[in-house]
A and B are shown apart, each in its own frame.
Chain A
Amino acid sequence: MAHTQQEVLAGLAELVNDETGIATDAVQMEKSFTDDLDIDSISMMTIVVNAEDKFSVKIPDEEVKNLITVADAVNFITENQD
């Protein structure tokens, strides 16, 4: 069953919190993963792989560099989930 954009945001915030300790309510659509949330590339890869499991989606490695903001990730997942 496809997840709504709101569900994806909430689920992604949980994955970010789990990996980095950042509060879930700090994970907002306009935030940049690196500049605002200070997430390094290793944590980003872990979050991406966990998001693939959580949302039944494939996020190719070459796509990860385009996921600048939380909104980029939420939109990619929402549009590409099985």
Chain B
Amino acid sequence: MRRVVVTGIGATTPLAGDAHGSWDSLLRGESGISTLEQDWVAKYEIPVTFAGQAKVLASSVLTPQEAKRLDPSSQFALIAAREAWADAGEPELEPDRLAVDFATGIGGVWTLLDAFDALKERGPRRVLPMTVPMLMPNGPAAAIGMALGARGGVRTAVSACASGNEAIANAFHRIQRGEADVVVAGGAEAAIHPLPISAFAAMHALSKRNDSPEQASRPYDSGRDGFVMGEGAGALVLESLDGAKARGAKIYCEIVGGSVTSDSYHITAPDPEGAGAARAMLDALAQAGAGIEDVEHVNAHATSTPVGDIAEYTAIKRVFGKHTDNLVIAATKASTGHLLGGAGAIEAVFTILALKNQTVAPTINLDDQDPDIPLNVPRVKTQLVRPDAIAISNSFGFGGHNAVLAFRSV
């Protein structure tokens, strides 16, 4: 099996319009969550009036024609993928050997619902001819594949909030097996729209701290009351170690594991025993040929929901036992909110930068840590000590999806 490395990163997040800017903001302990000023909030009496909106408008980065033909989810995806591609030095290779694995949790929800509004108000002829390619969940992956000329297979993982990690795991395995040499992988989401917000609010999944949005996303805190929706995208360029060395590419780190399991327990609730999540972590480490003591850092899924955070703790404890106390944990959704299908991708970027810089970013809003979750979650930025450290990044999704990535410093 071939070894696979990360040679490019890109992101557009509620913290900044690029990967390094997002990381720097995270290190400063900033929040990307703010009050929604859109007129639909009052018009529909949306019960949750804040979210993690992309810091940089996609329309300010893309050409007007690109923006017109792409759903916002694809716009974010293309921006992050182009940044990652440029960061990787725009590798030259046969188009047949270049592939894309890019995820979304929900797909083109803005396009779909705008089109339905046009249909109801103005009739079928006013439904845009681009509606179908814009709303399809493979739209972000297809847009990237077209932009970069990828002919080695463009694929989309759809597993709710585990989608981004699943896509990256798929990309990793493709290069391992020799099916592609370079894969652009990641995830995007653009669901800050009245319908998804109302729907998540209806299931009491969202924080209701309308009066203090920056404090609303508070994983592991006793006062956590739900997740905060975010939008944006993260992207990686993965390639074979041999290929990266041959072209003299800069290497961030090695990706050494990517595992997907399922709970088969409940459509939305996590298994309280954390069995499926634990299996995903153990399997990712087995793929890495690593033991639990080799893991120094975990970017946790940690969405700030009362039951989700504790279920993940149970799973971590189940895997790491006494070594749990040695893990340096980051819950970066405290700053970014939850990007759903984009979450795993931006958290992969943060995990990679944590290894590269041997620094774990602070977790904000952790004022009163839940005594039932005694994890080591630094409030200040913290150095990693092992030069060969392994870091894992967890993502779990409605449907009982568990997807875990493992990275190792090189």
Contacts and interface: CB of A to CB of B under 8 A. Distances in A.
A45 B65 contact: no
B129 A19 contact: no
Interface residues of A, number: 9
A42 B134 CA distance: 12
B204 interface: no
Contact of A49 (B65, B68, B126): B126
Given A19-B65, A20-B65, A21-B65, A49 B125 contact: yes
Nearest to A61: B125
Interface in A12-63: 18-21, 41-42, 45-46, 49
A81 B114 CA distance: 29
A21 B64 contact: yes
Contacts, number: 16
Interface in B237-278: none
B126 A21 contact: no
B129 A42 contact: yes
B130 A46 contact: yes
Interface string B312-337: 00000000000000000000000000
Contacts of B307: none
A16 to B, nearest CB: 11
Given A18-B64, A21-B64, 10 more contacts: A19-B65, A19-B68, A20-B65, A21-B63, A21-B65, A42-B129, A42-B130, A46-B128, A46-B129, A46-B130
16 contacts: A18-B64, A19-B65, A19-B68, A20-B65, A21-B63, A21-B64, A21-B65, A41-B129, A42-B129, A42-B130, A45-B129, A46-B128, A46-B129, A46-B130, A49-B125, A49-B126
Those 5 A-B pairs whose CB atoms lie nearest each other, nearest first: A21-B65, A45-B129, A42-B129, A42-B130, A46-B129
